[in-house]
Amino acid sequence: MSRTHPFTAVGRPERRQSVLLATLLIVILVFAGRLVYVQAIIGPALAQVARAERTDTIELVAPRGEILDADGVVLATTVETYDVRVDLRQIPDFRLYDENSTVVGWGAAAAAEVLAPVLDAAPNELGAQLVGDDGYFLLTKGVSPEVWQAIAALRVNGVTSERIGARVYPNGNTAGNVLGWVNADGAGAAGLEYTLQDRLVGTDGETTVEIGAAGQVIPTGQQSTVAAQAGCTVHTTIDSDLQWRTQSVLDDSVSRFGAEWGAVVVWEVKTGRILALADSESVNPNNPLASDENDRGARSVQGVYDPGSSGKVLTVLSALEEGVVTPTSPIEDPYRLTTANGQVITDHTPHPDQVLTTTGVLAESSNTGTVNIGSLMTNETRYQYMRQFGWGARTELGLPGESAGLLTPYDQWDGRQQYTTMFGQGLSVTLVQNTAVFATVANQGMHLDPRIVDGYTCADGVYQALVPAEPTQVVSPESSQEMINMLESVVDDGGTGTQAAIEGYRIAGKTGTAQIPDGAGGITDVAASFVGIAPADDPEIAVGVVIYRPSSGIYGGRIAAPVFHDVAAFALQSLGVPPSSEPATPYPLTPDAP
């Protein structure tokens, strides 16, 4: 009998090889599957996460558009500055080398040593600031591009910058109340900066770069940039030299007469362009909070006042257009007049009862004579002329907070208001609204909406001129010319506006002295005004002046007319307007005058 030893039994080798092969294949399939899973399925997502972790997107702030005067002089611009920040966690790794590449310092002390001269700081104090774990420490703000370049060249670990656009107004307070300013967020907060925010603000861009482990930009890494587009450049109608001179003259007058405020407008009558729009104590947009809050707006369009005797022009002009008077019509002019409903109207100074021409009524600024002229028309007719000349409605000049004035509908006038509105009381206007009457007269009765912006130049570099609104014929050229000739008598000897006269030029204009409440139940305060046209023989400009609540003196002819003289004389010379070539031929002031 044969026996087989149990330890000598041999299995089939093919089976073992199959098992091993199957195991190997399984392992290979697992790794292959994992590889496919990592590379083909979640690979792109993982790559995207990795790329996101090593890329950085930097916002490219678009510069705000510039604001220019009529000659291209910069009134508002954006200056490039930088805020410099430091990741204090990287400062300990900084090494300072000498010319032999030997380490001579490290950490905060060494960084302060090289940064201090550039920042004009004390090294010890700066070194103390550079210690900590703040990853976004503000080292300094508002440095120039040159300073930032000097800082960057030092290659201090963790030092970065943020580009900031600082708004700068090179001419200080010149036209400050027109320009306005921007707030801490860089948005317009007043003036044109506010109303034209959508035009001035640009479109920000961005740049994306790959960052290495040490925070450096990888030169061969992915980079992309979307350029920022600057805001539109605004071309205003303002003549900066004339604006400066106007503000200077106005501030001097307000100070001399102890007034609460004053305003002046210079209007180019053939175009409607505003060449100067001045307010007393104009704000400096570079530091607006340094000005009194009441002086930060544009009272030339926000402040309202009774036009007083300058409002008589509209009454008389309406009567001329309606054909109820002529420049030489005889008009009863008593010192005291009692109306049909018992209202008592008096002139500004006592005088014997007299008869004047329509021209004489304007020249002597008679209240009672004006009431006799206005009474030849219905209240509705006079009200309609006021509306056609723009009273009771905003001019839409383009400045925030503009007032529409105060003009009660004629069917709501009380028994006295129906008469006081004839000589400029019982209603209120802005300076621009009041000047619009004279600008229309100077433009042969054609009303033009005033404007303070000529056009824009945007990202495409093409200048876009603003299209003015269609003009409207309010009164005839004949009535307008008659009114100009009549208003020349106001400035001639014997009129109330002689201090507005300019040597060599014929001037037409009207004084205004309107009583206003003094806050204590009286009416001792006044708004003194003068609005005029120059030259009267070929009008180029209309200039309006109001001095509100002067404490010394009351009459527009004494307070406001000299301001007109100085501003208009400067404007005529700077615009190159030739002197008048023909003398005036005034209408008589009384019916029996030759």
Percentage of the chain beyond pLDDT 90 is 65
Strand positions, DSSP E, 319-474: 330-333, 336-338, 344-346, 354-357, 446-447, 453-457, 463-465, 472-473
Q: Distance between terminal CA atoms of the chain?
A: 174
Predicted structure pTM score: 0.81
> Helix-strand-coil percent breakdown of the chain, rounded to 5?
35, 25, 40
> With 90 as the cut, is the pLDDT of residue 333 above it?
yes
Each residue's pLDDT tens digit, 278-320: 999 999 999 988 877 777 789 999 999 999 999 999 999 999 9
Contact 362, 373 (CB under 8 A): no
Burial of 83 (0-12, 13-18, 19+ CB in 10 A): middle
Residue 430 pLDDT grade (very low, low, confident, very high; cuts 50, 70, 90) = very high
- Respond yes or no on whether the N-terminal peptide bond of residue 468 is cis (omega within 30° of 0): no
Q: Give the dihedral of Cα atoms 168, 173, 177, 178; nearest 10 deg.
A: -60
Report the C-alpha gap between 47 and 258 in whole angstroms.
75
pLDDT given for residue 26 in this prediction: 81
Contact 164, 81 (CB under 8 A): yes
Half-sphere exposure of 35 (CA within 13 A, CB side): 6
Mean pLDDT for 366-384 is: 97
Every domain range in the chain assigned CATH 3.90.1310.10: 58-93+107-236
> With 90 as the cut, is the pLDDT of residue 208 above it?
no
Residue 5 pLDDT grade (very low, low, confident, very high; cuts 50, 70, 90) = low
Report the C-alpha gap between 63 and 509 in whole angstroms.
45
Mean pLDDT for 425-438 is: 96
Of 73-77, 81-85, 452-456, 587-591, the poorest mean pLDDT is in 81-85
340 against 222, higher pLDDT: 340
Residue 538 pLDDT grade (very low, low, confident, very high; cuts 50, 70, 90) = very high
79 against 368, higher pLDDT: 368
> With 60 as the cut, is the pLDDT of residue 552 above it?
yes
Contact 308, 512 (CB under 8 A): yes
As a whole number, the mean pLDDT across the chain is 89
Report the C-alpha gap between 571 and 591 in whole angstroms.
37
Q: What residue type is assigned to position 166 of the chain?
A: A
pLDDT given for residue 229 in this prediction: 85
Of 31-35, 272-276, 424-428, 448-452, the poorest mean pLDDT is in 31-35
- Please give the CATH topology (third level) of the domain spanning 58-93+107-236: Penicillin-binding protein 2a (Domain 2) (3.90.1310)
> With 90 as the cut, is the pLDDT of residue 567 above it?
yes
Which residue, among 241, 257, 246, has the nearest Cα to 282 in the 3D structure? 246
pLDDT given for residue 214 in this prediction: 44
Each residue's pLDDT tens digit, 65-80: 999 999 999 999 998 7
Helical (H) or strand (E) element with 545: strand 541-548
The CATH class of 240-282+297-452+469-574 is: alpha beta
Percentage of the chain beyond pLDDT 70 is 88
Mean pLDDT for 520-543 is: 88
Each residue's pLDDT tens digit, 461-517: 999 999 988 999 999 999 999 999 999 999 998 789 999 999 999 999 999 998 877
Each residue's pLDDT tens digit, 116-172: 999 988 989 888 999 998 888 999 888 888 888 888 888 898 898 887 778 999 999
Every domain range in the chain assigned CATH 3.40.710.10: 240-282+297-452+469-574
Each residue's pLDDT tens digit, 167-197: 999 999 999 999 999 998 889 999 999 999 9
Supply φ then ψ for residue 61, to 5 degrees: -75, 125
DSSP secondary structure of 122-149? -HHHHHHHT-S--TTEEEEEEE-HHHHH
